[in-house]
Homo-oligomer: A and B are copies of this chain.
Amino acid sequence: MGVRGQVSRLVMKFGGTSVADLERIRRVARLVNAEVQAGHSVAVVVSAMSGKTNELVAWTDGSGAAAQGLAPSDDEYDVVVASGEQVTAGLLAMALRNIGVAARSWLGWQIPIIADDAHGRARIDEVPPDKLAAAMDAGEVAVIAGFQGVTRDGRIATLGRGGSDTSAVAIAAAVKAIRCDIYTDVDGVYTTDPRIEAKARRLSKISYEEMLEMASLGAKVLQTRSVELAMAQGVPLRVLSSFIEPGDDTANAGTIVCDEEEIMEKRIVSGVAYSRDEAKISLFGLPDHPGVSSEIFGRLADANVNVDMIVQSHARTADTANMEFTVGKRDAARTVEIVRAAQKEIGFDDVAVNEDVAKVSVIGVGMRSHTGVAKTMFGALAEKGVNIQVISTSEIKISVLIDAAYTELAVRALHAAYGLDQL
C-alpha cells in the first residue's frame, strides 16, 4: 500500500535458492508483480542462481576439478564471479516482462554502486540514487545484480559471500525505501531453532541489536554486515520465505527487523540461540602476574584467531592460575600450536582442547532494564543438571558454554523458562 500522495519505494531481495531455476524465477516475478500491483515502486536485488557461483569459483582456485584451477587474482576473480548475478538479473527482467511488468536489469557499474577496491570483500562507498529512483518511480521494476559494485577506476568489485543482502540494504537506504524485504528459505526469525524446539514461535518483530546477536550466534538468517548497515541507515528489514505465492497473506508474513523503539510489546528475552562451532582451550599453571593475558591473546590476534569467551581462575593450592577461552573449531589446532610454540615465554604447564562444547545464549533488549535474567537462566540449567563451564555477557545477551551433549536439553529448558512458547 503506497502512502497517499507519495511514492512508496520497496526493495526486495532474493537469494540463490530462490532463483535456482526458471520455474523459481517465474515465481519471484509473480511475487514482485504483487508488490507492483499494491502500488509500490520496486527494486529487486538478486543473487546468482544456486550452484553457479560455486561453478565459477571452481575455475579460479586449486580446489577445482583435478586441482587444476587457476591461481586467482582478486580483481579478475571478481570479473568472473560477478557474471553469475548478471545472468539472474537479465533472466528475471525477462520473466517480469513475460507477465506484463515493465522491468530492466541494472548491473553494479550501471547504477553505479560505488565500492572500494578491496576486491572479493569490497565495501560500498556510495550509491547515487537518482537514475535508479527515477526508473522505479516511472513504473519500471529495477532488477539489480547483487553482490557487485564498481570501483572508482571502473573495475568490478564483489562484496564477498552474502554480499547481496548488503547490496539490497544499501540500495534501500539510497532510494529511501520504506522497507527492504529479504526473501530466503525460512519464513522468519524464530524464538529458537524449530528443529530443536517444536514450540518455537516466529517473532513478528525483532530489534537490530537482537538480530545482530542472533546472527553472530549461529542463527544464519541474515548476514551480520547487512544488519549493521540497516541499523546505521535506519532501513527496516523484513525476513520472509520466497516459497510463498502471491495471494498468501504476505502482509503479515515474516519477521520485521527494526529499531527497538518501534517494537511496542517489549520482551525481556526474545530468543535462545546456540552454536556448536566452538572449541574450548584450557591453559593450566599460568604464572599469576600482569601481562600474561596480553602475551597469549596478542599472539592469537596476530594470527587472526578470533577469541570469544574468556575466563581466568586461580588454583587453590599454588601461586598459579588457569585460563579457559573459546575459539572457532576450525582454529582450535592452530591455536594449540601457537601457544605451545610460545610455552616458555608465556610460562604454563599444560594445554588442553575440548571440542565437545556448545555455546547457548539468551538474547533480549529487555535485559537492559530488567534484572533477574541471569538468575532465571542459571536456575533453569541447574534444574536440568546442565553444568556451566564458561559464562560471558553483553548488554543484551548472556552466553554459557556447556557440554555439547546437553545442547538441545538446555535450549528447550531456556525457551520454556522465559515463556517463549507462549508469545
Q: Which residues of A contact B (CB under 8 A)?
A: 22-23, 25-26, 56, 59-60, 64, 68-73, 75-80, 82-84, 86-87, 89-91, 93-95, 97-98, 104-105, 107, 109-110, 154-156
Contact = CB atoms under 8 A, between A and B. Distances in A.
**Which 3 residue pairs are nearest across A and B when measured between Cβ atoms?**
A79-B90, A80-B90, A83-B83
A interface majority secondary structure: helix
A94 B110 contact: no
Given A59-B22, A73-B94, A110-B154, A79 B89 contact: yes
A309 to B, nearest CB: 41
B87 A80 contact: yes
Contacts of A73: 93-94, 97
A104 B90 contact: no
A113 to B, nearest CB: 14
A337 B91 CA distance: 37
B107 A94 contact: no
A303 B82 CA distance: 42
Q: How many monomers of this chain does the complex have?
A: 2
B89 A105 contact: no
A22 B67 CA distance: 11
B91 A59 contact: yes
B60 A76 contact: no
Given A59-B91, A70-B98, 4 more contacts: A23-B68, A76-B97, A79-B87, A83-B83
Given A94-B70, A98-B71, A105 B76 contact: yes
B64 A77 contact: no
Given A22-B69, A98-B70, A104-B75, A87 B91 contact: no
A160 B22 CA distance: 24
Contacts of A56: 87
A94 B60 CA distance: 8
A192 to B, nearest CB: 40
Nearest to A95: B70
A76 to B, nearest CB: 4
